[in-house]
Chains A and B, each alone.
Chain A
Amino acid sequence: MRNIILEKIVKLFLNVMLIFSVYLLFRGHNNPGGGFIAGIIAATGFIFYAIIFGTESVKKMIGLSSRKWMGLGLLVVLITAILPVFFSKAVLTSLWVPGDFPLLGALHIGTPLLFDSGVFLVVSGMILTIVISIMEVLEWN
């Protein structure tokens, strides 16, 4: 049975969650937030979406399978880890883009953000993978 109100709410909820998670991801370095939290929040949005619309629609929406999502996250983290080696620094040392930016003012942009994005991808991918596989076994659709 379709419940149109619920469907509308869930769609809205997903959008809000995703925007919120990206916001948390970016503010994470200075304020509460970060990759872990943002990843869980994004995944929660997708979970509710999957509960209402089924796993197939979530799979379609995220395009890349959630497993590849995790792999991508790990790859990003790995690249972040290895990158400093090419600047003759120890593995996993943070690199920072120096200086001020014309419009944005003084900003600290560096590899930690990249690292956090990788964590974000892995965490959300992991939760989605687990939930989707459970839902598929239960034949939730």
Chain B
Amino acid sequence: MIKYLPQLIGFLFIAGLMVPLLYPILKAKLGLFLSLIPLTILIVLFSALAGLTPESLYLLPSSWGLLPEMNFGFRIDGLSLVFGLLISGIGFFIVLYAAWYMSKYERQGHFFTYLMLFMASMIGLVFSDNLLVLFIFWELTSVTSFLLIGFDHHLAKSRQAALQSLLITGLGGLCLLFAVVMIGQVAGTYEISVLIERGIHLGDHPKYRLIFVLLLLAVLTKSAQFPFHFWLPGAMQAPTPVSAYLHSATMVNAGVFLLMRIHPVVGGTMEWKYMLMLTGIITMFLGAFFSMGQRDLKRILAFTTISALGTMVLLIGIDTPQSMKAALVFFIVHGLYKGGLFMVAGIVDKSTGTRDIYLLSKLFKPLPFTSIAAVLALISMAGLPPMLGFIGKELVYDAQIQLPGMSWLLLPLGIGANIMMVAISITIFTEVFNPFGKRDPIKVKYREKDFPWYFLGGPIVLALAGLMLGLMPGMLDTLIANALYAAKNQLLNVNLSLWHGFNDVLLLSLFTVVSGIVVFIFRRSLNVHIGRLIDWFDKYHLPTLFAKGIKIYVDRAYKRTQIIQHGYHRFYLLTFFIVTGLLIVAQVNWDFLSVMPDGGYTPLRINLVLLLVVASLAVIFAVFSRSRLSAILAMGVVGYAVAILYLMYGAIDLAITQFLAETVIMVLFVMVILYLPKFAVLSTRNSRIRDWIISLSIGALVTFVVLHARFINLYEPISVYFIKNSLTMAHGRNIVNVILVDFRALDTLGEITVLTLAAMGVYSLFRFKVKKTKSKKEL
């Protein structure tokens, strides 16, 4: 069954593109219908779990690709399964959730198109077996997430946030492209399975540092690591289903996935360890710390997401088997609770109209099931038993303790971050859900029974999944072991359990919980300090700085461009001609004798001479004419003369085209000539003399070059090939047309695209005019 995965991913893409057609038929049922696809993928992936052993690997090679090195092969191993299961599973609930959440939005169809495309690219990203394909999917997630984040595009804030995330992740994507190409060049293959199988490790390669830095930039930007973390809270402008999906299991985790995927090839070096540990620990602590000072439920969750991502990057940086295992488990934990909590935030928002935790209170009564789901998720976030979060946190501590030399730094910061997590979990619970709080209950617009089941189902199922996995963590053993085998390339015995016995890790957990409660009790005075710190940070607010930087850059670029792109056609022509002339002067070999044909001249043909005389006379007439119409007609004569010249040399197609084009131009000119302003001489005498000199010298130079060109034959002319193969290969006797539609079809494709654009430009310009004149008339 798993072998149909590529088709399913393709189907997801197609479904996204088909939404405009489906939407008018299905209307409100669209989301429910679309949710079937991720559900199918989820079931297919579950079916793959059945035959999984710690070493099993299932490759789906493909001979199809855009480039020879780029095959759309798929790779199904533990690592991609862990990510794929969460992406499709949470995706399924998100689509259901969005079906109701987005029902009031006007552009619902657009939303599902973007969401489906995003989901497809995300699943493609984790399963692709080729670095170039992985890059394409990576970029696709950036683009589609841009569309999703900026979905409310009538709000300036949304647009800004979307642009910011696109620019930052786009920078990372560019770095990834360079890194991927370099890896491919160094290793000689882009296939991940081949890279791993051959045991290629680039650690000793002289270019390793460059590759690593590029990869690091890609990961840091995508996974919102310090100092690029600021795009993530900004992305909270998106509708809640988007935030829930992007920040729980997808988008931001793509960086984490990349680190694990690429680990066998570039991982484990000193640079890898120290850089990842450093950014990871800073991000982890900062994220947790900032989440304390926030009021908006979604922003709190955003900062805790940053912290969680920092944790995962840190764990991958520690790079022991224990830490990798912890990172994988933590990813599952985080996806489950964060997806649920974001959805809860959306439910709360829909039901009360606010997400401010200090306005919300006593939501247990109107929203009982949601509250239970939220509490379970919060327990998981705080890392308390019996949720999976507890196991995850234990493993994280375990990994941090076991690292000799660095644990003195990692452990305090890690514990600090976790204390904050505990405190923020308790804060959310007491402020928002606690039925015994002091404050008056908030007025609710909708109660739980007003919502459909599919709107509420997501958080509850995710929370229950977290609980079930927490009670029976053994279910994950084989999967994690296989994922570790893929990421670390060594076989490990994974044995997850809730109770580890009474050891130092458990002591640390106890300490964390107690400190968390203490922090919670003193949160009011603490929040004042954190608020002050945040204000101080706001002075150097990274998003504003970023926006400013972009603005300065654009302004500068604009000013620079103004110098050369001034908008005066005459000066463009002048520049063009002068530069071309100078280039010719610099290049051409000034030997006039060599230009003359040594084989003598062909005899003069009287009809040709007549034609040229007529054309020349027409040109002279056009130049000195005092009337615009006669000048244009004279130019028409030149055009027809050239067409006849083509005819004489046997270029019939060219001649016909020239005739027709001349005719159409004439008709157009005659049409508009009445409306042009009166013919007048506006240029000064000096400028006319200047133009005379330039045009005459350009004419002379071009003549010279044409004469010269006859003697330069660097290669055999391509026309010989065309003549030889036109009938045999392209089945056509008209070589010109065969070139147009077959040999050089790409050129034609480009040309007609340009033609269309030009026509659309003309059309829109005139449209503008027409509207203006019409509105004037109405006045």
A-to-B contact residues, CB < 8 Å: 28-37, 40-41, 43-44, 47, 51, 67, 70-71, 73-74, 77-78, 81, 88, 92, 94, 96, 108, 110, 112, 115-116, 118-119, 122-123, 125-127, 129-131, 133-138, 140
Whether, in the assembled complex, B653 has its beta carbon less than 8 Å from a beta carbon of chain A, the answer is yes
A70 with B766, Cβ < 8 A, contacts A34-B737, A108-B731 known: no
CA distance A138 to B766 in the complex (A): 10
Cβ contacts under 8 Å, A126 to chain B: 755-756, 758-759
Q: Are A33 and B741 in contact (CB under 8 A)?
A: no
Q: Are A137 and B770 in contact (CB under 8 A)?
A: yes
Cβ contacts under 8 Å, A77 to chain B: 748-749, 752
Give the distance to chain A from B673, nearest Cβ to Cβ, in Å. Answer: 11
| Neighbour of A67 across the interface among B64, B745, B760, CB < 8 A | B760
4 closest A-B pairs by CB: A108-B731, A133-B766, A126-B759, A34-B737
CA distance A80 to B45 in the complex (A): 36
**21 residue pairs from A and B, CB less than 8 Å apart:** A28-B737, A29-B731, A29-B732, A31-B733, A31-B734, A32-B656, A32-B734, A33-B656, A33-B734, A70-B760, A74-B753, A77-B749, A77-B752, A88-B64, A94-B730, A116-B740, A116-B741, A119-B741, A122-B752, A123-B752, A129-B759
| Neighbour of A92 across the interface among B63, B749, B759, CB < 8 A | B749
CB nearest neighbor in B for A67: B763
CA distance A46 to B663 in the complex (A): 13
CA distance A116 to B731 in the complex (A): 14
Cβ contacts under 8 Å, B740 to chain A: 34-36, 116, 119
User: Which secondary structure characterizes the binding site on chain B?
Assistant: helix
A134 with B759, Cβ < 8 A, contacts A31-B733, A32-B652 known: no
Q: Are A134 and B668 in contact (CB under 8 A)?
A: yes
For window 170-209 of B, CB contacts with A under 8 Å fall at none
User: Which secondary structure characterizes the binding site on chain A?
Assistant: helix
Cβ contacts under 8 Å, B770 to chain A: 136-137
Give the distance to chain B from A97, nearest Cβ to Cβ, in Å. Answer: 11
Cβ contacts under 8 Å, B583 to chain A: none
Cβ contacts under 8 Å, A36 to chain B: 657, 740
Cβ contacts under 8 Å, A108 to chain B: 731-732
Whether, in the assembled complex, B475 has its beta carbon less than 8 Å from a beta carbon of chain A, the answer is no
Q: Are B766 and A35 in contact (CB under 8 A)?
A: no
Whether, in the assembled complex, B660 has its beta carbon less than 8 Å from a beta carbon of chain A, the answer is yes
Q: Are B767 and A122 in contact (CB under 8 A)?
A: no
Give the distance to chain A from B726, nearest Cβ to Cβ, in Å. Answer: 10
CA distance A122 to B751 in the complex (A): 10
Cβ contacts under 8 Å, B758 to chain A: 126
A43 with B745, Cβ < 8 A, contacts A30-B734, A37-B653, A94-B730 known: no
A122 with B667, Cβ < 8 A, contacts A29-B737, A138-B672 known: no
18 new A-B contacts, CB < 8 A, other than A29-B741, A34-B734, are A28-B734, A29-B734, A30-B732, A31-B733, A35-B740, A37-B660, A40-B664, A74-B752, A112-B732, A115-B745, A116-B741, A122-B756, A126-B758, A131-B667, A137-B766, A137-B769, A138-B672, A140-B671
